[in-house]
Chain A
């Protein structure tokens, strides 16, 4: 092997072996191999004390000597062929490597050979957003991205320098500009997953800023391509406004995923003790999928439903009246066994139920254990003040300070114009429902079930069947007043709702009925409080409240993007490796073949082999 060939081998075989050098290497190698084999044909001379002892048994072996000699020549021919193959492979290496000085796949002119020697400045931008946790690749997409990045680093030429960065919502530099593949590999290995959505434009701006002023700046984006249309609409530019060379190395194999995009829980305004849960699930599978949704709270499953989703379908699920023993609820998807789901991170979502609001009630009247018991049942979030019946008029003046004023068998002298009130058996001229003339009371009124307005918030979940009332007073209904329950033409429960005023009234004294003995009574008091404080415009808000889950659908859509276009221009793949793996293989093959030949020769003459 001449000096040029030796230098080519020692130098890492980074280029083609020149033909003249190859010829010289081939001639030298063939001559060496032939010389070694000629030496091999010479038998080792061994002196023995008495040769006749050896001659008898070896006769047969001697007869096969010609065959053995032929085998030697065949072995020589094989070794020469092996050497020639390796040499021709080495010669062919350079021809198989594309000339990167000419043009890449996009037809864009690349730098000349002289600038190639100056090396590239690469930013390896590894996507670590939530979708990169999908498991359709071995390990995960992030693991595949790390492997792909390792390949790119292994293929860098010695003149190249690279910086490893990762991004999700933010971009982070994992290393400085390095030429040492081992340091870069360590930085790549340190990239961890995130549950944030990926912000491509921020990451590209970050990379462009880093590459400013560097020779041959290139960004290699290793990602599954799950970015918003807005992010893809803008062409990547460097800080000087020139087009940035961005290459795209896609990862991801398929898009089989069903995810929970959002989960929110709220208290029903009409019934703060009840919880309503809103859940949005979407399928990103190419075929329809049936998944189960389980809602847990306090360690137990409180609801379970099954949903069949068409490909790409997004569905909003509402779970009303959810009983939640704990302030935290968790929803999770349970798929069938044959259902593949590549992204486990979006199969669970949590939400926190807002705490009960604090309420103030002013109770006006004499002793009434039934009413006090009902008020006590409203919980510690309800504060109750009390006034004697004699202070009924003063109570009306203080009504704005309370969420509800309860007149228990007492009626202030003037009907209120604003505020929220619950009247038990209002009578006299101060009654809001006072008749023009004194009306007679009705004894033993019978509640007409057909008259019960069960859809009204006041009667929500109330059972008034067979309520016995001893005596009721006839209430005069005005405009906007609603009789929620009646004994034929005698209203027994009345609701008045006017701007700034809400009044609920029972036309009878509860103590003269068996209503306080029923579960409906505390519920009626609770409903009255809820109705009183209910906001007319308190429909479910779409704003995400604290403690709820909301995900970017792009991150749950694991459909891999093979071709990524930014600003209408398709991103090219990364350059082929400068350190061609075939060169490495050929190097080692050459060294191994030489070692084998040497070992064969040595072992034969040292009697290790025959």
Chain B
């Protein structure tokens, strides 16, 4: 009942006490957040607070599953028996109960400000929702906007701590122009985040971005893995990026680099772009699947609550 009582007081109560939080997170959003947390709690009912079964390589007592070996994995945990029988290189995964530390990384680069609605809005809403659910589970949750100079609130427990997180996210503005900061790659931003995080226990990192820099995206996810953190990739595209409606002679300008090119967008060029965009997403999803990284590709016009619920139902998050 305590938990239920806390939930009732929850984000809604906090918002009533302190008033609306900026322009991004209104009271309606907070109500949705509370409702979402309740729904997820029903889904994961019967589990202890602060405990989460995580599947990871090596440590743990209870065997859970195999996954294919990829270069960079620790050879010590290769299942040599399986290799002897099937000549298949696979790692053994064990389930381990742990007190989870959750870091939500939201890409706040200039490209995330594109789209109608902007991708950054959905990214912040998802980040806030993940944080709220984690706080509700008494996990240690921290939210960081990549590329933002100001650091986010320190890791905290309990859903009463959602307000500082929301205020932080509401204050974040996407990087504009062709400044050096705006051109900082995702990998560099993640590296910087990990350097600040050093010393904290292992945990889960949800990386929310458009991943429009394939090399940088792979490098960022690889960095997370090497720090023995579980990664979750949330890729967001704007509707105009999935099915652009550009025609004619245009001067295309890259949102992050500022590089401008004179182009003529013909139907053929449009079809070629669509193919390239789909291939980029396929590549990201394939990369994540090989490394057992949950990956979600979304459109910025989707409602955040439905997206978050889908993520939890798909598994790999707090369950």
**18 extra A-B contacts, CB within 8 A, seeds A47-B254, A53-B276:** A44-B250, A45-B260, A46-B246, A46-B252, A49-B111, A49-B255, A50-B255, A51-B253, A52-B254, A54-B261, A55-B261, A56-B276, A57-B269, A58-B265, A61-B266, A62-B261, A65-B262, A607-B245
B212 to chain A, nearest CB (A): 4
* Inter-subunit contact A48/B114 (CB<8 Å): yes
Q: A57-B272, A62-B262, A62-B264 are in contact. Are A44 and B251 (CB under 8 A)?
A: yes
Q: Which of B250, B264, B271 contacts A46 (CB 8 A)?
A: B250
In Å, the complex CA distance between A92 and B222 comes to 79
Q: Is B257 an interface residue when CB atoms closer than 8 A count as contact? A: yes
In chain A, what residue has the closest Cβ to B265? A58
In Å, the complex CA distance between A58 and B244 comes to 14
Q: Which of A50, A65, A609: most chain B CB closer than 10 A? A: A50
- In the bound complex, residues from chain A placing their C-beta under 8 Å from that of B263 are 54-55, 58, 61-62
- In the bound complex, residues from chain B placing their C-beta under 8 Å from that of A49 are 111-112, 114-115, 119, 210, 212, 238, 241, 255-256
Q: Which interface class (under 10, 10 to 19, 20 to 34, 35 or more) fits B?
A: 35 or more
Q: Is B46 an interface residue when CB atoms closer than 8 A count as contact? A: no
By DSSP majority rule, is chain B's interface helix, strand, loop, or mixed? mixed
* Inter-subunit contact B247/A610 (CB<8 Å): yes
- In the bound complex, residues from chain B placing their C-beta under 8 Å from that of A56 are 272, 276
**Which B187-226 residues sit within 8 Å CB-CB of chain A?**
210, 212-213
Render B123-151 as a binary contact track against A, CB cut-off 8 A, 1 for contact.
00000000000000000000000000000
Q: Which of A44, A47, A65 contacts B114 (CB 8 A)?
A: A47
B148 to chain A, nearest CB (A): 19
Q: Can you list 28 A-B pairs with a CB-CB distance of less than 8 A?
A: A44-B249, A45-B250, A45-B253, A45-B260, A47-B114, A47-B253, A48-B241, A48-B252, A49-B238, A50-B213, A50-B254, A51-B254, A51-B261, A53-B212, A53-B273, A53-B277, A55-B261, A55-B263, A56-B276, A57-B269, A57-B273, A58-B265, A58-B266, A58-B269, A65-B262, A68-B249, A68-B264, A610-B248
Q: Is B280 an interface residue when CB atoms closer than 8 A count as contact? A: yes
A75 to chain B, nearest CB (A): 13
Q: A47-B253, A53-B273, A53-B277 are in contact. Are A609 and B264 (CB under 8 A)?
A: no
Q: Is A43 an interface residue when CB atoms closer than 8 A count as contact? A: yes
Q: Is B268 an interface residue when CB atoms closer than 8 A count as contact? A: yes
* Inter-subunit contact A58/B264 (CB<8 Å): yes
Q: A49-B241, A61-B266 are in contact. Are A43 and B251 (CB under 8 A)?
A: yes
Q: Which of B248, B256, B271: most chain A CB closer than 10 A? A: B248
Q: Which of A45, A47, A49, A62: most chain B CB closer than 10 A? A: A49
Q: Is A336 an interface residue when CB atoms closer than 8 A count as contact? A: no
- In the bound complex, residues from chain A placing their C-beta under 8 Å from that of B265 are 54, 58, 61
Q: Is A604 an interface residue when CB atoms closer than 8 A count as contact? A: yes
Q: Is B259 an interface residue when CB atoms closer than 8 A count as contact? A: yes
Q: Is A367 an interface residue when CB atoms closer than 8 A count as contact? A: no
- In the bound complex, residues from chain A placing their C-beta under 8 Å from that of B255 are 47-50
Q: A43-B262, A62-B264, A610-B266 are in contact. Are A50 and B212 (CB under 8 A)?
A: yes
**Which B46-89 residues sit within 8 Å CB-CB of chain A?**
none
- In the bound complex, residues from chain B placing their C-beta under 8 Å from that of A68 are 249, 264
B244 to chain A, nearest CB (A): 8
Q: Which interface class (under 10, 10 to 19, 20 to 34, 35 or more) fits A?
A: 20 to 34
In Å, the complex CA distance between A46 and B241 comes to 13
- In the bound complex, residues from chain A placing their C-beta under 8 Å from that of B247 are 607, 610
In Å, the complex CA distance between A55 and B253 comes to 11
- In the bound complex, residues from chain A placing their C-beta under 8 Å from that of B266 are 58, 61, 610
- In the bound complex, residues from chain B placing their C-beta under 8 Å from that of A607 are 245-248
In Å, the complex CA distance between A68 and B253 comes to 20
Q: Is A10 an interface residue when CB atoms closer than 8 A count as contact? A: no
* Inter-subunit contact A61/B269 (CB<8 Å): yes
In Å, the complex CA distance between A56 and B261 comes to 12
In Å, the complex CA distance between A609 and B249 comes to 10
B262 to chain A, nearest CB (A): 6
In Å, the complex CA distance between A54 and B264 comes to 10
* Inter-subunit contact A46/B261 (CB<8 Å): no
B10 to chain A, nearest CB (A): 35
A599 to chain B, nearest CB (A): 15
In Å, the complex CA distance between A61 and B262 comes to 9
- In the bound complex, residues from chain B placing their C-beta under 8 Å from that of A48 are 114, 241, 252-255
In Å, the complex CA distance between A225 and B62 comes to 119
- In the bound complex, residues from chain B placing their C-beta under 8 Å from that of A450 are none
